[in-house]
Structure formats: structure tokens, C-alpha cells
Amino acid sequence: MAHRRRLLLVTILSLAALLGVIAYAYWRAQSNPNTLWTVVQSCVAQEQAGGLLTGSCVAVDRRDRVAILRSIEGREQFLLVPTDRVTGIEDPHILDPSAPNYWALAWAAADRYLPPLVTKDRTRIGLAINSQFGRSQNQLHIHISCIRPSAARILDERQHDIGTTWSAPVITLGGHGYRALRIEGRDLAGANPFRLLTRVPDASQHMGAHTLVLVGASWDHGKQSGYYLLDDVAHDGGDEVDRGHGEALLDEDCSGEGTSGD
């Protein structure tokens, strides 16, 4: 009897996973902002059942309460998604002392799941979170992929203009002005990009309008390693509408100049 119940449970979870994958693949067409949350819960259910993860589910981390999903967009893009309900960059939870450093976890996932030809050169790696106005899903997710080569070139050319305090938004990337910050060190053990964003004037009161992009960096002919943290703010400038869509700086195929959605 116990065996039959377990078999039934596995069957139900497998069906739920399949439905989750289908829903994920069509989230745009259905315009359902909660589809990603449904998919993540399917991944958690599979992991708890002790079965192999299927569909878009790559990994579930019980300790830090995050899941890694393979994105439906691009050949080389993953998503880090909390397994708790966290709506996005505007959610107060991300600044709570109990919250994990989602960016550090996303960088570790990039190092694990992106191709070795990418991960051996940190300057090719890019992470992004879109603003509240530049996303389709109301569950926090950090995009894990490659940075566009054109953006990487500009950052390298402007490296001497980027210091350890926020610059004015003077670096134009993807047609929008970004402020930039240098983070030194090979990992993010002492730096949480969400907390660094609060150092921008008024950002803590309007977190939802911001988009962040984290790019691997290297200086002094490879002797020093770190990151560039980029910030843009969604706005309507009359002729220009900026939705705070930092994901557009990513090359989701890791093979050239990509185009992005959310």
C-alpha cells in the first residue's frame, strides 16, 4: 500500500512538473505574472519527493531557499529564483538581514552551469534583474548569462572612470545611461548588490524603479578581479521610455550580440 501511494505521489508530481514546464514556456502568451512562481513550486515539490528534477528545473537549494531554472530564452541563460514568495527588486525582503545574498548565489550558479569557455573568463559573465516596470513575472529572478561583447568593451574602455563609489549615470549602454560601481575581490562575500544600491540617493524609497546588472571584471592585466555593478532607473523622458530592463545587456546565447526579453 505504501509503495502504491508513493507511486501515485510521484505520478502526480511528474504531471505537475510537466504542466509547470508548459506554463513556463507560454507565460508570455498567457501574460500570467505568477507563472514563474508556479514553476518554482513544481521544482520544490520534485526535490522534496526525492525524484530527478525535470523540465526547466536544474537545482533546488534548501538551505538558501533558491532554485536554479533553465530559461526558455537563449541557449545559455539560467534564472536564480527564491523558493519563498519574493515579488522582485522592490520587495523589502531582499534587504532583510536574514535574506541570502542572491547575487552571490547567482554568480556561483553561473560558474557552475555556464559553459567552461565562458566561466574561464569572468569578464564574459553577466547577471541582471529588471525593474518592476521592465519585467513580466512577479517573482524575483536574477538572469544568469553572458554580457554583450559591446557592453563589455565599453566597460573596459571606461574602467578608469568607474570607482568604488557610484558614478553619475554617464556610461551609455544599450542606449541608456547607467551609473556604475566597482566591486573588488573575486567573490561577493562582503558585497550585496541590493544593499549597495541603497547608497544611490533616493533609491531605497524607489527600489522598484531600478534595474541592476553585475558584470565580471579584471584589472591590471588579470592580476586583480572583481565586478562592475550597473544601475539604471526606469523613466519616461518624453521621446525616450526606459523601462529599467537591464537584461537587454545580456547575450543569452553567449555567442554574440543577443536580444533579450523577460
Domains of the chain as residue ranges with CATH:
58-251 (3.30.428.30)
Q: Which amino acid is at 158?
A: R
Confidence of residue 11 (pLDDT cuts 50, 70, 90): very low
Mean pLDDT of 5-32: 48
Question: Considering the entire predicted model, what is its pTM?
Answer: 0.87
Mean pLDDT of 142-161: 96
Residues 213/198, Cβ–Cβ less than 8 Å: no
- CA atoms of 258 and 134, how far apart (whole Å): 17
pLDDT above 50 (res 14): no
- Residue 71 gets the label, from left (phi > 0), alpha (psi -120 to 50) or beta, of beta
- CA atoms of 111 and 215, how far apart (whole Å): 13
- CA atoms of 222 and 181, how far apart (whole Å): 19
Residues 249/71, Cβ–Cβ less than 8 Å: no
Burial of 248 (0-12, 13-18, 19+ CB in 10 A): buried
What are 22-68's pLDDT values in tens digits?
Answer: 444 444 444 799 999 999 999 999 999 997 899 999 999 999 999 99
Note the pLDDT of residue 239. Answer: 59
pLDDT above 80 (res 259): no
Mean pLDDT of 59-82: 94
Mean pLDDT of 64-84: 94
pLDDT above 90 (res 182): yes
- CA atoms of 207 and 116, how far apart (whole Å): 34
What are 96-107's pLDDT values in tens digits?
Answer: 999 999 999 999
What mean pLDDT is reported for the chain? 88
